[in-house]
Structure 1
């Protein structure tokens, strides 16, 4: 059964109490779903504010779509943790193809979104019925929904004499959907990189781990003008993030 539900545009026949896990693929007639795209095919990176996520479906049909039901949901084996559903807006068939689309507003302030839902496990469910009675429905893999991260950098002093120390600091924060705010992301490996002025390539000089507050701090020797940055590779539940380069003038 569905344990948590957000309702978008919902008909009376689909009242919250009667929702069940979406079925696997079903087809009647020659209506065929050929493509399902969530968020343009890119991961959904959700911070502490709302995020609008698109869902687009392409179908092959010789009759206009009469009803469309589009859903973004998370769960396995009928145990659904979260669901967003709406009626789609469909174009008239052109060269045998039609597109139905809608969008959902994911809100971490709702009890539907929790830290445990980050990563995979999100699916798109599509249900289409044409005017001639043809029907198609099914679940399709969706993009990952990730907790947003932020990373800062500061290299000082600037300017600095050649051979003198430069201190590079930073902080890695992670969106906590449960608390509705960003927290320091501790114990994470972050690379310190340098790009010499005039070059287009960054070189990794060392790798540090964030402390309990997500902070980073290290000292390097000033050798040439250039840009310092931190880069975090990310996980399936957290996107990669890299700071802009902080320029230090070496004299």
Structure 2
């Protein structure tokens, strides 16, 4: 990872080095070369936790009548002065006129000074050359969500329970704090309680619960049949989606 952001000692604010942000460039190019697709990490969503490194893949497809010659490293830029640069892309021919160029960058929250303000929408800057001398530069060729990792738990009780009695389902929603390298309570978020009847193939949504100021989740349901309960957080632009481990309840 090529993070170019330092943490200021006195205030905790983000301070830039002399190379913090690449020189501004306007979109430009020549000829008939076009970028047709940009994909980051498969689904344009990247969730980073606190304990391990993650390698992001960036894939850019481009076309030109003469074919694609190659690409420069891709720039990834986001809020909070976030900036990354991939390694040299490798381009694979799709057809005589089209190629997909792929590169990656490794991000480690333990060593790369990520700031929570960096979470949100990031953009991919791309420079690609064609075989006939055409080229294209786009500062925002594509976008992706750079998200703080999340975690959620589920506990349904009592176990076992008599049919018709009340089951209390509790849990906790937490989110990675990149600055402390710990997970903390994630409050005020909608979380679905889902249920899978024993023998069924798909979960159903029972209700939506909002996390408390301490990130806690709690609701009740009536015991009907043996089955599995789980909490599911859909995520948002700055926080990753997550599904808890399911908890089975035996109904007598």
Q: TM-score, normalised by structure 2?
A: 0.78
Q: CA deviation at 1:72?
A: 1.4
Residue in structure 1 matched with residue 62 of structure 2 by the alignment: 59
The within-5 A match list for 1:106-185 is: 106-110=107-111, 113-120=114-121, 122-130=122-130, 132-139=132-139, 140-185=141-186
Of 181-190 and 210-219, more deviation after overlay is shown by 210-219
Consecutive unaligned residues of structure 1, counting only runs of 5 or more, are 7-14
Of 135-144 and 210-219, more deviation after overlay is shown by 210-219
Q: CA deviation at 1:92?
A: 5.8
In structure 1, the residue corresponding to 2:224 is in which secondary structure?
Answer: coil
Residue in structure 2 matched with residue 71 of structure 1 by the alignment: 75
The 8 Å contact of residues 91 and 100 in structure 1, kept in 2 or not, is answered as yes
Q: How big is each residue's C-alpha offset from its partner over 1:224-244, in whole Å with a ceiling of 9 and x where there is no partner? A: 222222222332222333334
* Paired residue total: 235
The 8 Å contact of residues 70 and 102 in structure 1, kept in 2 or not, is answered as yes
Q: CA deviation at 1:193?
A: 3.2
Consecutive unaligned residues of structure 2, counting only runs of 5 or more, are 6-17
Q: C-alpha separation between the residues in 2 aligned to 1:201 and 1:93?
A: 38
Q: CA deviation at 1:124?
A: 0.8
Q: C-alpha separation between the residues in 2 aligned to 1:223 and 1:245?
A: 17
Q: How big is each residue's C-alpha offset from its partner over 1:81-131, in whole Å with a ceiling of 9 and x where there is no partner? A: 3232432222468412223221011232355522112121x1111112345
Measured at CA, do residues 97 and 200 of structure 1 come closer, stay the same or move farther in structure 2, by a change above 3 Å? Answer: closer
The 8 Å contact of residues 5 and 84 in structure 1, kept in 2 or not, is answered as no
CA RMSD of aligned residues (A): 2.9
